[in-house]
Structure 1
């Protein structure tokens, strides 16, 4: 098709007939994409955001959300200018950006002769610009408007649970209230006319993503991670921008060997895009979609692997100034945060806080299992919490050899103080609600008092271990202590 080889389609599965366990085993663990149907019937967005003709209800957006101003890079222009650029040039690896209000965006959209746009003889690009609203942090901006509920298959979302309580960056020098690096969350609304599109890319942090079509139709082209090297140049530095360009065989010698999966995503369908899958997406109709990036115990290794690659690249780039730099490692970490979205210190603090939250909930449920028994078995929740801690421990074991943790970093996570912080209580509540959704068990009422009063006997584990975690090695030992304590509780029952 159009110069690329399509080797297969993506499964479409009725989500109502699929269990969470089946989703994990068939798709999440295998890192395999799937389209899920039947999960959006009760979404408010599917009625409010769609008019009687099945088109985006642009007047509703203008009336209710029109004053929203979305900072760059939330609006992108798809145009033939980029098509003419050398795909190996870094400047053109993303679409041109502008800033405007939602009302201004919709006014511009209504002026466009949308019938001229589309994936057609010009490989999805026209001589006329097509605006595409991207990366609108709708959930954060409109907390009192519940447009949708996250399907339980994809709600084990450590990234957004954490960002609802904490910022990702610990370095105040790299923090800005509205910059993309200090991103408030990774839950977005996309809106685009027929013909708008997203260039070839793999998702931020090499996270999972899910995308729900509230209205419209998308065409997806996906490349398995095992073939990702085929869309990079011979130096493995620059990625192809548009797979339908006239690609130079000299610059990209492996491109013609790539074999793609293709998918037409219809209205009210949700696509799960696993870690490391490069994809390019075209809107075949006027489209509104909801998109999340997320990671959990099943793809943490992808996040660390990307950070290691980006760190080594950033370090190599400035190696010649090491001898004259007062804080070379600090500079490497700042560059890593700027390029990747977080650095090793940020990731470590995230892992430590999330470990503590899992240990608090695990301790509470394990010790009170007998009292909670009336609601059904909680062993699936306990097993999930243990798996979460074990997966974090594996990542921490890999991180302890990193140069940035070889000496005194000058920071630590005080576990006792963290445990007392209301932000941490919020994280624990969110984790409990996630477990409830996944396993269809109501346990929050049994845990709320413990979490709210910081009365968990996990504090005993904390104090028996140490008062702070300041390195991946500390975190490994802490998780060992928690899991050993959990085993002893199970043995005594």
Structure 2
């Protein structure tokens, strides 16, 4: 039985779409879209592709062939994914070219026996080759908290779950994919239920999308396992509701970028030899998707080892370690991430308020952007209050100590840079010193230094009071009254 195709993904010219319109129509509504016009000046589109559109595999092998990468065997399943193994880029390309020669030559079937289609996935190209600017992230996808954070911090602070600093497998979520015609990715939803964008440097892909509201239709009766391949014979006994699904499809051509929203399951097939660049990312618009996934996976992890609860000295710690191992982060990692981003967004608002002579700063696009970031973070922190995080022990992040971290100062500047590109269409002056304690004292925000966050309730109070003091109280009235400091919550 074939798929019930209910529509196609919309295609738009990126140069005819503003950032605010993209947010309104696609990001905030969590709808997929294909965008054209953003790849014309990419170096990858010149170096990695011949004039006739074929991938220049020799160039890639000669310049980046020593890299060790993950390769999927498209003909072999391992649990819910394709079987993977590691090889060098040059070895992968050699096998690709060998298979292509055998497939298109006059060779007997016995020659192809044992040969399989291999798909290079999750190559951390940007981290490995930072001096080679293969592409620039399109404006619509710049507000990327996940990769911005991982450029400066580990996601896992717990030494039991922390990877080594030089372990590229956990360093970022910016990837290069390469595969011959016929390679494919099984049915799945993206890591962390993040957004993703995928740009075809060359080749053509066929996408099949299932909206989040139909998720229950592709799982078994216990909601534990989902369909692996939507084109194989799907068992009606195991997946009785699969036949009710309604799909969107999309053919993505060379130099087109597809935006994949949170929670949309999809299966992808390469119709031609293809190279793509892919990012997973999240920000204030889809934080709730990330938290909902963590909470659901936590409940599963807890239920799975419930029988050892009475004999385990640190059952909660064991659950969190398992969650980090299976999902990629745990409650503590995510809360740490949220607190640092809250501090960084508060600093952005402080500088906007302190450097503006008029009340209109509050209605500027940049101010509204950072306010929305804080309000979204607060919404998640409220949900976190009803978990084990409400009783965190030995956890605290204080503003003064965070300000002394070079990584945090760089994070703040990159967040400012993102806001400037999105709303002002230019980069700010590179000056991390503006986030120093002396600078904040000059702006009248020294009360922030005594702020300490120990749990989600503290974070909610901090954000509420910050927005109240910065947004509701007139800045001009404080100046006219000779007030030198804005009141912020002290140690919470």
**TM-score with structure 2 length normalisation?**
0.90
Matches within 5 A, 1:206-285: 206-285=193-272
| Pairing 1:96–2:83 present | yes
- Unpaired segments of 5 or more residues in structure 1? 83-90, 118-125
| Pairing 1:400–2:399 present | no
Q: Structure 1, residues 87-123: CA drift from partner, whole Å, max 9, x if none?
A: xxxx521001111111111111110137959xxxxxx
Gap change, CA 1:208 and 1:62, over 3 Å in 2: same
In the alignment, the residues of structure 1 paired with residue 371 and residue 252 of structure 2 have an alpha-carbon distance, to the nearest angstrom, of 36
Which residue number in structure 1 is paired with residue 284 of structure 2? 297
In the alignment, the residues of structure 1 paired with residue 186 and residue 2 of structure 2 have an alpha-carbon distance, to the nearest angstrom, of 16
In the alignment, the residues of structure 1 paired with residue 345 and residue 309 of structure 2 have an alpha-carbon distance, to the nearest angstrom, of 40
SS where residue 352 of structure 2 aligns? helix
In the alignment, the residues of structure 1 paired with residue 464 and residue 185 of structure 2 have an alpha-carbon distance, to the nearest angstrom, of 44
| Pairing 1:164–2:151 present | yes
Gap change, CA 1:11 and 1:355, over 3 Å in 2: same
| Matched pairs, number | 469
Which residue number in structure 1 is paired with residue 482 of structure 2? none
Which residue number in structure 1 is paired with residue 94 of structure 2? 107
Select 1:381's aligned residue among 357, 363, 366. Answer: 366
In the alignment, the residues of structure 1 paired with residue 438 and residue 255 of structure 2 have an alpha-carbon distance, to the nearest angstrom, of 42
In the alignment, the residues of structure 1 paired with residue 362 and residue 308 of structure 2 have an alpha-carbon distance, to the nearest angstrom, of 59
**CA deviation after TM superposition for structure 1 residue 379, in Å:** 1.1
- Larger of the two Rg values belongs to structure: 2
In the alignment, the residues of structure 2 paired with residue 221 and residue 127 of structure 1 have an alpha-carbon distance, to the nearest angstrom, of 29
Gap change, CA 1:294 and 1:267, over 3 Å in 2: same
| Pairing 1:477–2:461 present | yes
Task: Tell whether the 8 Å contact from 1:415 to 1:462 is kept in structure 2 after alignment.
Answer: no
In the alignment, the residues of structure 2 paired with residue 387 and residue 110 of structure 1 have an alpha-carbon distance, to the nearest angstrom, of 50
**CA deviation after TM superposition for structure 1 residue 406, in Å:** 3.7
Q: Structure 1, residues 180-229: CA drift from partner, whole Å, max 9, x if none?
A: 89711000000001011000000000000000000000000000000011
**CA deviation after TM superposition for structure 1 residue 398, in Å:** 0.6
Matches within 5 A, 1:67-466: 67-70=66-69, 74-79=70-75, 81-82=76-77, 91-113=78-100, 116=103, 128-177=115-164, 183-370=170-357, 379-402=364-387, 404-442=388-426, 444-445=428-429, 448-451=432-435, 455-457=439-441, 461=445, 463=447, 466=450
SS where residue 170 of structure 2 aligns? coil
Gap change, CA 1:462 and 1:158, over 3 Å in 2: farther
**CA deviation after TM superposition for structure 1 residue 464, in Å:** 5.3
In the alignment, the residues of structure 1 paired with residue 210 and residue 55 of structure 2 have an alpha-carbon distance, to the nearest angstrom, of 30
User: 362-371 or 312-321, which moves further after superposition?
Assistant: 362-371
In the alignment, the residues of structure 2 paired with residue 112 and residue 226 of structure 1 have an alpha-carbon distance, to the nearest angstrom, of 40
RMSD: 2.4
In the alignment, the residues of structure 2 paired with residue 250 and residue 457 of structure 1 have an alpha-carbon distance, to the nearest angstrom, of 67
In the alignment, the residues of structure 2 paired with residue 236 and residue 457 of structure 1 have an alpha-carbon distance, to the nearest angstrom, of 54
SS where residue 7 of structure 1 aligns? strand
Gap change, CA 1:289 and 1:434, over 3 Å in 2: same
In the alignment, the residues of structure 2 paired with residue 238 and residue 57 of structure 1 have an alpha-carbon distance, to the nearest angstrom, of 39
Task: Tell whether the 8 Å contact from 1:461 to 1:481 is kept in structure 2 after alignment.
Answer: no
Task: Tell whether the 8 Å contact from 1:367 to 1:489 is kept in structure 2 after alignment.
Answer: no
In the alignment, the residues of structure 2 paired with residue 180 and residue 234 of structure 1 have an alpha-carbon distance, to the nearest angstrom, of 38
In the alignment, the residues of structure 1 paired with residue 430 and residue 182 of structure 2 have an alpha-carbon distance, to the nearest angstrom, of 51
**CA deviation after TM superposition for structure 1 residue 147, in Å:** 0.7
Gap change, CA 1:20 and 1:464, over 3 Å in 2: closer
Task: Tell whether the 8 Å contact from 1:416 to 1:459 is kept in structure 2 after alignment.
Answer: no
User: 377-386 or 10-19, which moves further after superposition?
Assistant: 377-386
Task: Tell whether the 8 Å contact from 1:378 to 1:441 is kept in structure 2 after alignment.
Answer: no
| Pairing 1:486–2:470 present | yes
- Unpaired segments of 5 or more residues in structure 2? 105-112, 480-492
In the alignment, the residues of structure 2 paired with residue 259 and residue 192 of structure 1 have an alpha-carbon distance, to the nearest angstrom, of 28
In the alignment, the residues of structure 1 paired with residue 192 and residue 254 of structure 2 have an alpha-carbon distance, to the nearest angstrom, of 28
In the alignment, the residues of structure 1 paired with residue 8 and residue 88 of structure 2 have an alpha-carbon distance, to the nearest angstrom, of 38
Which residue number in structure 2 is paired with residue 46 of structure 1? 45
**CA deviation after TM superposition for structure 1 residue 129, in Å:** 1.1
**CA deviation after TM superposition for structure 1 residue 346, in Å:** 0.4
SS where residue 13 of structure 1 aligns? strand
In the alignment, the residues of structure 2 paired with residue 266 and residue 99 of structure 1 have an alpha-carbon distance, to the nearest angstrom, of 29
**CA deviation after TM superposition for structure 1 residue 366, in Å:** 1.7
Gap change, CA 1:137 and 1:452, over 3 Å in 2: farther
